[in-house]
Amino acid sequence: AGLAAARHQVLADAGWDVERRGLPGAPAVRVFAGAERHATIDRSLRLLGLGTDALHPVSTGPQGAIDPDALAAALRDAGPGPTIVCLQAGNVNTGACDDLRRACDLVHRHGGWAHVDGAFGLWAAASPATRHLVDGLETADSWACDGHKWLNLPYDTAFAFCARPDVHAAAMSYAAAYLVGSGGAPAGADLTAESSRRARGFAVWAGLRELGRDGVAALVERCCALARRFADGLSAAGFEVVNDVVLNQVLVGFGDDARTDRVVAAVQTDGTCWAGGTTWRGRRLMRISVSNATTTEADVDRSVAAIARLAHGIGGELVH
């Protein structure tokens, strides 16, 4: 929905009504996104008919956040024209957040639309301890965020926020004579691609009402503290924590790729905790993502002990 709104606006700025005329003959839309964007960006571009050839990957810094200087250079080289920039709050591997203030400023000076994928990282804004990571978020044009990740709501609860509700509705709205309220103020069905859906908003309301502002902040802070506890425990046990643990993500290496994969498989079979494997910067790593509201310090300590026991039981060299 965020990228559909973006597509609407950048083409409207170029004098093209995409909802009416479609994309054939439209001015080319350039889409810039960090090289470590989530794959859903690519899928959205396919579904929106912009195509993945429209995508210009921008290099990222050491923790996977977009390099603002590289973004500035890419926009300068691209010159004027319809431009969408997809930023990220919360790299799936490292938890790193793009410098949203600087990036949004660059995009707006270029006349483009700044979209933020904050599937889980947007929640950093809820706590004074992590809010700085998403400084400038409010200057973006659209955000995507999930309730089913860090807010611990049931699956398929997601949000699209658009700074311009008129643009959001222009891109997504739908009307039919038989529908109650059709043609009036934008309602739910005018803001998402689904016309019929469950009352997901109820679970969101209930979750937020139960937690309150402080409860959401505490949830975020607790998960971040537990991620640091994981990182500290695993480094103390002799394993390599590869990322700066700024949010709830921890990347751990157990030697070479094959050994790390064996440790990940052993941990999954053991069942004390669950952690997946990932490839980051060419290396196989264990990816620990702390987002469950019920996880405790004792859970982390038991998990660290189990991971250490399993890793030490697997032959091969620990390359540290």
Ligand X SMILES: Cc1ncc(COP(=O)(O)O)c(C=O)c1O
Q: Work out the angle between the directed axes of helices 200-236 and 297-313 (0-180°, nearest 10).
A: 50
Nearer to ligand X, 90 or 233 (CB): 90
Nearer to ligand X, 97 or 226 (CB): 97
Nearer to ligand X, 117 or 141 (CB): 117
Name 241's bridge partners: 252
For ligand X (CB under 6 A), the number of binding residues is: 9
Min dist CB 117 to ligand X, Å, is 5
Using CA atoms, how far apart are residues 102 and 242, in angstroms rounded to an integer? 26
Min dist CB 188 to ligand X, Å, is 18
Using CA atoms, how far apart are residues 69 and 75, in angstroms rounded to an integer? 10
Residues 82-121 as x/- pattern, contact with ligand X by CB under 6 A: --------x-x------------------------x-xx-
158 interacts with ligand X by CB under 6 A: yes
Using CA atoms, how far apart are residues 278 and 69, in angstroms rounded to an integer? 28
Conformation bin of residue 158: beta by default, left when phi > 0, alpha when psi is -120 to 50: beta
14 interacts with ligand X by CB under 6 A: no
40 interacts with ligand X by CB under 6 A: yes
For residue 234 the two structure tokens come to: 């695993």
Min dist CB 258 to ligand X, Å, is 27
Min dist CB 149 to ligand X, Å, is 7
Min dist CB 41 to ligand X, Å, is 8
Min dist CB 283 to ligand X, Å, is 20
Give the ranges where the chain is alpha helix by DSSP (H). 2-13, 18-21, 39-47, 68-78, 100-109, 165-172, 200-236, 257-270, 297-313
- Name residues contacting ligand X, limited to 170-209 (CB under 6 A): none
User: Are 141 and 258 spatial neighbours (Cβ–Cβ below 8 Å)?
Assistant: no
Nearer to ligand X, 117 or 190 (CB): 117
Min dist CB 214 to ligand X, Å, is 25
Locate tokens 């425990």: which residue? 233
Determine the 3-state secondary structure of 190 from DSSP: helix
Conformation bin of residue 159: beta by default, left when phi > 0, alpha when psi is -120 to 50: beta
CA-to-CA separations, 158 to 24, 148, 154, 161, in angstroms, rounded: 31, 7, 10, 10
Nearer to ligand X, 40 or 268 (CB): 40
Nearer to ligand X, 200 or 262 (CB): 200
- Percent composition of the chain: helix, strand, coil (DSSP 3-state, to 5): 45, 15, 40
Nearer to ligand X, 292 or 296 (CB): 292
Using CA atoms, how far apart are residues 152 and 5, in angstroms rounded to an integer? 27
Residues 123-152 as x/- pattern, contact with ligand X by CB under 6 A: -----------------------x------
Nearer to ligand X, 182 or 192 (CB): 192
Min dist CB 119 to ligand X, Å, is 3
- Interface residues with ligand X (CB under 6 A) are 38, 40, 90, 92, 117, 119-120, 146, 158
